[in-house]
Amino acid sequence: MNNQESSNVNKKIQINSAVELANLIKENVYVVIKISASWCGPCKNEKFLNNYNKLKNNYISINSIKFIEFDVDLHLDIIKDKKYYDIEISSVPTFIVTKNGHFTRKFEGCNHLQQINEYLYNNINE
């Protein structure tokens, strides 16, 4: 991986409103949304974060896939705004995968990175 790719992996897309999230979802074939919380122990687990970064690295060169992250407490307004999407969070981390503007999969907990990887791998080749 070259330096440019490495810096892109660590660059986070900032989402500050429900409309920004809706636009990002509409503009990209796939969006993987990671919703976490600062108080969540599993969300801060080093092994989990390393594996999550590896997942993002797998798709760094595919422009149709975007990874975004936000803290549920800092952006509760995005969760509560049902005008664009109905996001239901019962635990963190939660991952939501969108395809062509629609929610397709939801994964709750840290143990689903392999399933997310398999879903993306199987679907991007359609």
Cβ–Cβ under 8 Å, residues 64 and 31: no
pTM, 2 dp: 0.88
User: 126: buried, middle or exposed (CB in 10 Å: 19+, 13-18, 0-12)?
Assistant: exposed
Q: CB count, 10 Å around CB of 99? A: 20
Per-residue model confidence as pLDDT tens for the chain (126 residues): 344 444 444 466 888 999 999 999 999 999 999 999 999 999 999 999 999 999 999 998 999 999 999 999 999 999 999 998 989 999 999 999 999 999 999 999 999 999 999 999 999 876
Does the 15-124 domain belong in CATH 1.10.275.10? no
Rounded to the nearest 5 degrees, what angle is found at the Cα of 49, between the Cα atoms of 43 and 50?
165
